[in-house]
Structure 1
Amino acid sequence: MNKVFSILMGMFLMLTVFANNVQAEGEYFLGKWNIMVMGTPNGDSPMKAEVVKKDGKIVVLMQSEEGGELKPVDRFEISDTELTAYWVAGGYNVYLFLEKVDEDNVEGSLMDMFDATGERAKE
C-alpha cells in the first residue's frame, strides 16, 4: 500500500511541475517592447510589440510600420528565452527573431538580415 501511495504521489508531483512549466512558457515576453531594427534600406526602423495573455493564451501584437497600430501576428513561436513572430508587412512575409539578453532586453534579427535590439517599455 505504501508503495502504491508513493508512486501515485510521485506522479502527482511530476504532473504539478509539468503543468507549472507549461503555464510559464513565454511569460518572459509578456508586456510592451520597444524594438529597433538597424540598417534597413530605409534606415534604422523603430517598432513596437506587445505580448499579452487573452483567455489564457498568449497573443503577439506587432506594429508593421512606424506609427501604425498594433495588430496580431499571423503566427509565432515562443519559449522562455526566444520569440519568433511572422506577419505580412508592405506585401511581404516577414519574421522577427528575438532572444532574451537579460530581464528587460532582447536582441535578434529581422529576416536574418537586419540586427534588432529591444527593451521592455517602461509603462
Structure 2
Amino acid sequence: MKNPKFVLTVIVLFASLSLAKAQVNQNFFVGNWEVLVKGTPQGDIKMPMSFELKEDKLIGKITNPETKEETTMTSVELKGEELFTAFSAGGYDVTMVISKKDEEHFIGKLMDMIEVEGTRMK
C-alpha cells in the first residue's frame, strides 16, 4: 500500500454511501396515503392514512373507513428502512411496520401477519 490515506478515504466513502442508502428519508412518508389492508376477517379494507412532519418528527393519522373519524397514531418511528407505527382500532392496540416499495407505494404488515399496501394520494 503506497498511500494509506487514499485507501482509508475510499473505505470511509464506501461506508458512508452504504449507510446513506440503507436509510429511507422520513420525507418519503409525508403526505396522504390510501392503505389497503388485505385478508382481514371482514375482508380487504381501504383506509386513509397521513403523515406529517412537526418539529422534525413524523406524526401519523389514520381515518376509520366506517365513521370517517381521524385518530392520531400513538407512535411513529423510522428505523433504517422501516417505519414502525402503533394506533388504536376497534378497541385494540395495533402495530404496523411499513417500508418503501417505490416512489408512490409502500408495503408492510399489520400485527406481523396481515399484508398492507399503501398508495400515495395525489
Give TM class, smaller chain. 0.7 to 0.9
Do the aligned partners of residues 105 and 25 (structure 1) sit closer, same or farther apart at CA in structure 2, a change above 3 Å counting?
closer
| Contact 2:58-2:77 within 8 A present in 1 as well | no
Distance in 2 of aligned mates of 1:76 and 1:44? 24
Following TM superposition, the consecutive aligned residue runs of length 4 or more in structure 1 with deviations greater than 4 angstroms are: none
Runs (5+) with no aligned partner, structure 2: 1-19
Q: Which residue of 1 aligns with 2:102?
A: 102
CA–CA separation in structure 1 for the residues paired with 2:81 and 2:39? 25
Q: Which residue of 1 aligns with 2:26?
A: 26
Identity level (%): 32
Find the counterpart in structure 2 of residue 61 from structure 1. 61
TM-score normalised per structure 1: 0.72
TM-score after normalising by structure 2: 0.72
Name the stretch that deviates more: 109-118 or 51-60. Answer: 51-60
Residues 38-84 of structure 1: CA deviation (Å, up to 9, x unaligned): 00000001111111123443211112x21423221111212463212
Paired AA for residue 50 in structure 1: S
Count of aligned positions: 100
Q: Report Cα offsets for 1:80-123 as digits up to 9, x if no partner.
A: 6321210111111101111101111111111111111111111x
Which ranges of structure 1 fall in alignment gaps of 5 or more residues? 1-20
* 1:27–1:80 CA distance, 2 compared to 1 (3 A): farther
| Secondary structure at 2:28 match in 1 | helix
CA distance in 1, matches of 2:30, 2:114: 24
Taking a change above 3 Å as real, the CA distance of residues 80 and 25 of structure 1, as seen in their structure-2 partners, is: farther
Q: Distance in 1 between matches of 2:69 and 2:54?
A: 18
